[in-house]
Copies of this chain bind each other. A is one copy, B any other.
Amino acid sequence: MIQVGIVGGTGYTGVELLRLLAGHPDVSLQVITSRGEAGNPVDRIFPNLLGHVDMVFSEPSTEALSQCDVVFFATPNGTAMHHTPALLEAGCRVIDLAADFRLQDPTVWEKWYGMPHACPDILTEAVYGLPEVNRDAVRKARVVANPGCYPTAVQLGFLPLMEQGLIFFSGLVADAKSGVSGAGRKAALGTSLCEASENFNAYAVTGHRHLPEIRQGLAAISGQSVDLTFVPHLTPMIRGIHATLYARLATPESPLSDEDLHQIFQTRYQNEPFVDVLPLGSHPATNSVRGANYCRIACYRPQSEDTLVVLSVIDNLVKGAGGQAIQNMNIMFGLEEKTGLDLPGLLP
**A residues in contact (CB < 8 Å) with B:** 12, 15, 19, 22-23, 44, 46-53, 170-171, 173, 175, 177, 179-181, 185-189, 191-203, 205-207, 211, 227, 229-231, 233, 235-240, 242, 244, 246, 248, 258, 276, 278-279, 282-292, 294, 296, 298, 300, 302-303, 305-307, 309, 311, 313, 342-348
Q: Is the CB of B198 within 8 A of A283?
A: no
Q: Which residues of B contact A49 (CB under 8 A)?
A: 344
A156 → chain B closest CB, angstroms: 16
From B23, B192, B197, B294, contact of A343 by CB (8 A): B23
A134–B179 Cα gap in the complex (Å)? 39
Q: Is the CB of B51 within 8 A of A276?
A: yes
Q: Is the CB of A287 within 8 A of B187?
A: no
Q: Is the CB of A207 within 8 A of B177?
A: no
A28 → chain B closest CB, angstroms: 17
Q: Is the CB of A246 within 8 A of B233?
A: no
A227–B249 Cα gap in the complex (Å)? 14
Q: Is the CB of B193 within 8 A of A309?
A: no
Q: Is the CB of A207 within 8 A of B303?
A: yes
Q: Which residues of B contact A179 (CB under 8 A)?
A: 200
Shortest Cβ-Cβ A-B pairs, 9 listed:
A48-B345, A48-B347, A199-B287, A47-B288, A201-B285, A194-B348, A175-B175, A187-B187, A229-B307
A44–B279 Cα gap in the complex (Å)? 9
Number of copies: 4
Q: Which residues of B contact A236 (CB under 8 A)?
A: 193, 235-237
Q: Which residues of B contact A276 (CB under 8 A)?
A: 50-51
5 CB contacts below 8 A, A to B, read A19-B346, A49-B344, A185-B348, A192-B193, A200-B240
Q: Is the CB of A291 within 8 A of B288?
A: no
Q: Which residues of B contact A238 (CB under 8 A)?
A: 193-194, 197-198, 348
With a 10 A CB-CB cut-off, give which of A19, A53, A196 has the most chain B CB atoms: A196
Q: Is the CB of B242 within 8 A of A201?
A: yes
Q: Which residues of B contact A296 (CB under 8 A)?
A: 47, 50
Given A192-B188, A246-B246, A346-B291, answer yes or no on A311-B237 (Cβ-Cβ < 8 Å). Answer: no
Q: Is the CB of B205 within 8 A of A311?
A: yes
A56 → chain B closest CB, angstroms: 15
* Nearest opposing residue in chain B for A18, CB measure: B344
A224–B21 Cα gap in the complex (Å)? 47
A49–B346 Cα gap in the complex (Å)? 9
Q: Is the CB of A311 within 8 A of B202?
A: yes
